[in-house]
Amino acid sequence: MSQRVTLHGRDFEVMIPADKIDEVVARVAERLNSDYASCERPPIFVCVLSGAYMFLADLVRKLTFDHEITFVQISSYEGTQSTGVVRRKLGIDFDVEGRDLIIVEDIVDTGTSIDHMVDYLQSLAPRSVEVCTLFFKPDNYRYDRPIKYCAMNIGNEFIVGYGLDYDQLGRNLKDIYVIANE
């Protein structure tokens, strides 16, 4: 395992190894298995592209209940900073009325994107909308909406790997990397 990578000329070092990620994903899957095992209708996982695809793939392989999956694409980042403006590129194109929806996100930072997604999905009249995120930055979060399923809290670090990118690079890394102290 390489302890450092360079992306767009910037050095990153391992912050969270792949085996730790697998542990926290398994814990979230256990909670979801407990909460949704007896659902009348299979819940729908709404994966936020592009960053959450790896998390979703590993998560659903650990689930023991029937479920459906769909994808949405939104963006509020440029480089290492949130722009504060959410752009939705893809959305839900089928009826979700009366269904349980679980938004799967890679990281909840300020909460602007997730707040936008919850409002959008609630406008489609589902039975429920919950948030499941791999990483949560509680010190940056600006909203009151609860994040029910959180795999791991982190600080204000900018991270890449395991689906998260730095200007589209680094998604393929199996570990989570942070900007190296230079």
- Please give the C-alpha separations between residue 106 and each of 52, 54, 119, 123, in angstroms, as whole numbers: 4, 9, 18, 23
Q: Hey, what amino acid is at 155? A: G
- Please give the C-alpha separations between residue 49 and each of 2, 30, 152, 168, in angstroms, as whole numbers: 26, 23, 19, 12
30 φ, ψ (degrees, to nearest 5): -60, -45
Bridge-based pairing state of the strands 4-7 and 159-160: unpaired
Active site residues: 109
Structure tokens at 146: 């609860």
Q: Collapsing DSSP states into helix, strand and coil, what is residue 55?
A: helix
